[in-house]
Chain A
Amino acid sequence: MLQALRNKIHGWPAAIVLGVCVFAVAFFGIESYFVSRVDTYVAKIGDHEISQQDWQQRLNELRQQAAQDPRSPFTAADLEKPELKQRVLDGMISQALLQQANTDLGLAVSDASVRSAIGSDPGFQVNGQFSPEAYRAILSMQGMNPGMYEAKVRASLATQIIPEAIANTTLVSDADVDAFFRLRLQQRDLRLVELPRPSLTDASVADADIDAFYKSHIADYTTPEQVSVQYLEVKQSELKVGEPTDEQLHAFYDKFKQRYAQPEQREASHILVNVPKNATPDQQKAALEKAKKIAAEATPENFAKLAAENSDDLGSKRGGGDLGWLEKGVANAAFDTALFGMKKGDITKEPVLSPEEGYHIIWLRDAREGDAKPFAEVRAQLAADWTKNEGERLYNERAGQLADLADRNPGSLEPAAKELGLEIKTSPLFGRDGGPGIPSDPKFVAAAFADDVLAQGNNSSLVQVDKGDALVMHLAKHNAAAPKPLAEVADAVRQRILDERVDALAKKQADDLVAQLAKGGDITTLVKAPVRTLAGLERSKLAGINDVPPAILQGAFTLPHPANGKAAWTTVQTGNGAYALVAVDKVTDGDPSKVEKGQRDALRGQMMDAMAQAATLEYIQALKARGEIKIAQDRM
């Protein structure tokens, strides 16, 4: 048939048919490239995706870290804040970028480094030596095998390759160290005058000025939005449970019997003759015969010796086959049946076959009958447990009813109060940042300012303020943010205007003085206040000086050097609208040659660390600029 087709199809119809076929085949499925697929990444760096799973895992690690380490700089709650989340994600992106850069540069972690990192981890050491047993034990506890752990170590070492290489190639020359010491040990001689605060000659303020100031600073004279709410509270501690009756206690006792009873226990030893998983009939027969022979020989006297010589149970073999005290259900079913069917002192005549392990010869050495404590003995304990249980039950029931009633009558708390016999309490007024008393609880405040309570005037849903303490609230009073009337604040406004005038005057006075001094005026004649001199002020030793305003000390090293040997006076604001005039008379750079070698080396080390860190940050920045990074904020 194909031959026939081939013969008949010629010329342009053939070309068209073929064209259609080629088109269909070539472009079939291509639409999947255009239709956007569902992205699930939190961030995408080039081709590498940080999945939501990776992201949650990292957050969980940090939460654990915060919970375990009391000195941790952040708490688990901080991790919910967007800015901290962003920083965590930035860290993950940096790591991914560094790993990609490794690939681009052909840098791989050597096997030797992985080995030495694992070998020197103190967590895997016993007596200061790497212990393979401890290593495997710790890994299996974390559900990992050595391959997985090595990959993890390799990945974490990989992100350090470039930062370490940058640190190891950082150059800090003697010239750099000298320059730094010149600045750090620099000494400055100052003259300073603290100007007294001027007083106003005219202390009257026009009403128009007060009005204008009030209007332009209205936000400062506004009471914040406040609410007061009515609420119904259910507290477990206030619920009366009452004394239990004997009947109730009996029922409770029957229900939780195992709590008050000691189960039946048996002390046993055994000898195991192993039958391999897929044993041949011959092997099985040989095992049975061996077991029978041992069973025939075994007496209480030689049991331990027989066990030590013959048992295939490595765990109990050395202890003469001792298994200790066993409860029902601890061992496998066949073993259990046999053990609990024996009499004290017996040794099984016939070996017991458990399908998983093989043949057991069991010696029941001792037995304890189940010791169900009699009711009378545990009555006090029962009563306490019952009361606690009943209290929780009652509380949950009442809280449930409260939530339900409040929900069914959203407009008022009255029906719920009547039905449950609760008193409607009213909170004081409080703002969004809470207040004393019950509004100090942030959950309470959040519920009060939530949309359904504040805007819609409905009952809130159940607010669990504490364990065993829940409430439902309803808006009682809402004071919108309101400006205080001018009459109430006029005096305060007047005082502020006067203060600001004095501030302006003080500044003008200081600036005028500086201008006059610059023209060659003499400080002692221009200013009545005493001129103080501070000689040999050193940048790194400012902390001990208490009699000079901190603003002057901070400013001392940001003032200009004396130009052409002439000091220039500068105004420095010393806080509270007061000003001082300060002049730098002399600047003496530090002398690096007087620094001890040890101190010099230590400083060079610090400088190298800082430079290395700065270079690494900029390296990562360069990688970021080069690659394409997408962040899905909504999935964070």
Chain B
Amino acid sequence: MAFDVYDDYEQGERVQQWLRKNGVSIAVGIVLGLVLIFGWQQWKAHRANHEQAAATEYAALQVAVAQNRANEIDMRTETLLKDYSDTAWSVFAAGERAQRNVMAGQLDKAAGDLEWARAHAKDDTLKTLVDLRAAQLKYAQGKPQEAIAALDAMKGTSFVALAQELRGDALVKLGRPDDARKAYQAAIAAMGDSAPQRGVVQTKLDDLAVAGKQGA
């Protein structure tokens, strides 16, 4: 049914009829599109603001730490953990609180901080780093067996050298020098030539020397 069989009036009528039938959906479609576009931009601006605010809060926390103002440190850490828990800054803040707790000898509290950080870290590498820290804490708590279990559960292939060094430390504690030696050797193999921990790990390895294998 070709359109040109109608005269002008009829054509107009048909167009209007079509518009009446579909006008609402077209309008809704346009509005929906606009809402999507503006909404997306709003959302992006909101995220940028949120991230900037978190960065500012974190910078203020660093200043407080540098000046050793205990109350402010606690307050700002709480704020970061509560209001900015969706940013990586909060993971850092929790990790820093864990560090302060370890320095103060409160290892159980530090474990809680790391658990929080683990739950809120979204990035895989960051998560692995938190896992490594958790394993270090287990070792510090005098639980070498659990430290090894935590290392086994660590995902990914990052932080190999540090993980192997810690494994070696834990194995020494468990009285398994042969396995520890292998772990230290793996740690050194995973390091670059100028790695800062190379000398330390080599010393630990040297101390495990057995006859016929000295200076390994």
Contact = CB atoms under 8 A, between A and B. Distances in A.
Interface of A: 3, 6-7, 101, 104-113, 116, 165-166, 168-176, 179-180, 183-184, 186, 539, 555, 557-561, 563, 568, 570, 609-611, 613-615, 617-619, 621-623, 625-626
B98 A610 contact: no
A621 B207 contact: no
Interface string B138-158: 011010000000000000111
A173 B107 contact: yes
B11 interface: no
Nearest to B96: A168
Given A169-B129, A558-B209, A560-B210, 20 more contacts: A7-B2, A101-B125, A107-B87, A108-B48, A108-B51, A110-B52, A110-B59, A165-B92, A168-B99, A171-B110, A174-B140, A558-B214, A560-B214, A609-B196, A610-B197, A610-B200, A614-B197, A615-B129, A622-B156, A623-B125
B56 A171 contact: no
B210 to A, nearest CB: 5
Interface stretch (B15-23, B24-32, B159-167): B159-167
Interface in B87-103: 87-89, 92, 95-96, 98-99, 102
A555 B214 contact: yes
Contacts of A104: 123
B92 A168 contact: yes
Nearest to B48: A108
B78 interface: no
B192 interface: yes
B215 interface: yes
Interface of B: 2, 4, 47-48, 51-52, 55-56, 58-60, 62, 65, 87-89, 92, 95-96, 98-99, 102, 105, 107, 110, 123, 125-126, 128-129, 132-133, 136-137, 139-140, 142, 156-162, 169, 191-192, 195-197, 200, 203-204, 206-207, 209-211, 214-215
Contact of A171 (B48, B99, B158): B99
Nearest to A623: B125
A559 B123 contact: no
B55 A107 contact: yes
Nearest to B156: A622
Contacts of A6: 2
Contacts of A615: 129, 132, 159, 162
A559 B209 contact: yes
Contacts of B139: 173, 175
A19 B46 CA distance: 46
Given A171-B102, A171-B133, A111 B211 contact: no
Contact of B137 (A7, A171, A539): A171
A617 B52 CA distance: 27
Nearest to B128: A622
Contacts of A179: 169
A109 B206 contact: no
Contact of A622 (B87, B158, B204): B158
7 contacts: A113-B55, A165-B95, A173-B107, A174-B140, A539-B203, A615-B129, A622-B157
A570 B47 contact: no
A439 B92 CA distance: 61
A169 B56 contact: no
A106 B140 contact: no
Contacts of B142: 175
A110 B140 contact: no
Contacts of A106: 47, 51, 87-88
A500 to B, nearest CB: 24
A184 B207 CA distance: 11
A104 B87 CA distance: 11
A174 B136 CA distance: 11
Contacts of A623: 125
Contact of B140 (A105, A171, A625): A171
B162 A618 contact: yes
Contacts of B162: 611, 614-615, 618
A76 B38 CA distance: 53
B96 A183 contact: no
Contact of B55 (A108, A172, A626): A108
Nearest to B92: A165
